[in-house]
Amino acid sequence: MKFFIDTADVAEIRDLAATGLVDGVTTNPSLIAKSGRKFLDVVQEICSIVPGPISAEVAATDYKTMLAEGHKLAKLAKNVTVKVPLTPDGLKTCKALSSEGTMVNVTLCFSAAQAILAAKAGASFISPFVGRLDDIGSDGMILIRDICAIYKQYPAFKTEVLVASVRHPIHIVESAKMGAHVATMPPNVLRQMFQHPLTDKGLAAFLADWKKTGQSILEG
């Protein structure tokens, strides 16, 4: 499973990219607005930090303007993935851009039916939002299961399932068990994956025992 970081915080991206665990980044207008910086500048800088797919979302809703914005975003760097909404105009834009060789991430997916449409439109990634479904009392993981099962039936579909709106590590683990290709998560969720009380307890015991020896690996 590939890990994308869902943020526009360049400092966070640099820090996590240094772990070697980050395969890409997803952004959206809301995340970039929080940075207080110019949209295109932020996207371009992120592309220079992480060589994998960097999702940059269009702001328009009509086909003509979305396509123009998509072309401009795609010129920023080779690893830009243009993100479009799962609407008729969004899928029309997806088809046009993907036919030109541009990676496209179709976002705001909330049903398996929508995911089928995105795959037929040539999307590189489909982004089902599990957390937002959980918020309204649905089980977001059922959507991931259904999309993965459908895509496996059709080898001609090249669209990767990108699990979005991730709220905690369990979302990631369950998605991985279902065969989802990618999970995009806020920085804090990736950091939570490192944590386990038994790891902390075991490390503390090892360090205490080592201290008793009075030795130093570097000075030995």
Q: Which residues are catalytic?
A: 83
Query: Residue 81: helix, strand or coil by DSSP?
Result: strand
Neighbours of 53 (CB within 10 A): 22
Q: Which residue in 81, 177, 78, 60 sits closest to 123, CA to CA?
A: 81
Q: Across-strand partners of 103?
A: 81
Q: Which residue in 195, 190, 192, 196 sits closest to 12, CA to CA?
A: 190
C-alpha–C-alpha distance, residues 5 and 74, integer Å: 20
Helix, strand, coil distribution of the chain in percent, nearest 5: 50, 20, 30
